[in-house]
Amino acid sequence: MKVLVIEDNKELLRDIKSFLEEEGVICEIAPNYKTAYDKIGFFPYDILIVDITLPDGNGLDIIREVKKENIDTGIIIISAKNAVGDKIRGLEIGADDYLAKPFYMAELNARIKALYRRKAYNGSREIVFNEIKIKPDSHEVFVNDHILNLTKKEFDIIHFFMINKHRLLTKEAIAEHLWGDHIEMADSYKFIYTHLANVRKKVAETGGTDYIQSIYSVGYKFTDRG
């Protein structure tokens, strides 16, 4: 899961990022309107955490732009406890949830997971594709009811493929999903090939089918269709 947190309070921003990364979430940050607007325009996110009051703009305008551009992402507003008007306006223009400050990180995490389940796999706690089953909350993957021993990146890549089954995924999209802001430090996409090879091997060892189709010079597609 990839989350963008839009918040101008540096201490809160740092705390949210640290907590979510401990939970295995790819978390990027934007301390102002311009940074958030640029990031959303260039990169896909599963969830946006949006503060309303920003030093150079309004979080509600970010939500309006996301809806105007038909960007498929979940949106959770975080704002002051007494900002009832912001809550109502945010929900009316398309936000999915609202959390008043101050809040517990565990509650924010629970709301993120619940929204992600609704968006990505219709509220279910499992993703199933033929003989492969994923339990996202526990980071477990089963093939023919045998659990796979995967690294975090291997789990992330098969999870990314399964929630985007039958779609063409470019190498750039896969790299960005796996590494987030840190992708700039990579000098090639060789690490993708390594992770894919490991996933394919571990799936095959438990009698699973290799559904990862290579699309020459473009990327990959996870599918059982010819």
Q: Write out the residue range of the structural domain in which residue 40 sits.
A: 2-121
pLDDT (tens digit per residue) in 43-56: 889 999 999 989 99
**Whether residues 104 and 169 fall in one domain:** no
- Residue 189 CA to residue 100 CA, distance in Å, equals 41
pLDDT tens, 102-138? 999 999 999 998 898 888 766 667 889 999 999 987 8
- Walk across the sheet containing 47-51 and list its strands: 26-30, 2-6, 47-51, 74-80, 97-101
Instruction: Say if residue 117 is in the same domain as residue 145.
Output: no
Same domain for 138 and 116?
no
Summarize the confidence of residues 189-216 as an average pLDDT.
91
188-214 burial, b if ≥16 CB within 10 A, otherwise e?
eeeebeebbeebeebbeebebeebbee
- In this structure, are 25 and 113 located in the same domain? yes
- What CATH number has the domain bearing residue 32? 3.40.50.2300
Per-residue tokens: 162: 């399964």
Last residue of a domain, one of 121, 152, 184: 121
Rounded to an integer, what distance in angstroms lies between the CA atom of residue 161 and that of residue 63? 27
Instruction: Please give the pLDDT value at position 119.
Output: 80
Q: What is the pLDDT of residue 180?
A: 67
Distance (Å, rounded) from C-alpha 4 to C-alpha 180? 10
Rounded Cα distance between 130 and 25, Å, is: 26
CATH number of the domain residue 198 falls in? 1.10.10.10
Residues 55-110: pLDDT tens digits?
A: 999 999 999 999 999 888 999 999 886 677 888 888 999 999 999 999 999 999 99
| Statement to judge: residues 108 and 164 lie in one domain | no
Q: Is 1 helix (H, G, I), strand (E, B) or coil?
A: coil
Q: Same structural domain for residues 167 and 215? A: yes
> Sorting pLDDT into bands at 50, 70 and 90, what band is 185?
low
Q: Are residues 151 and 205 in the same domain?
A: yes
Bridge-based pairing state of the strands 168-170 and 26-30:
unpaired
Q: Show which of 121, 146, 164 is a domain's final residue.
A: 121
Q: How many domains does the chain have?
A: 2
**Per the structure block, which two tokens stand in for 136?**
């996202």
Domain boundary among 69, 87, 121: 121
Q: Are residues 132 and 117 in the same domain?
A: no
Region 177-186 average pLDDT? 62
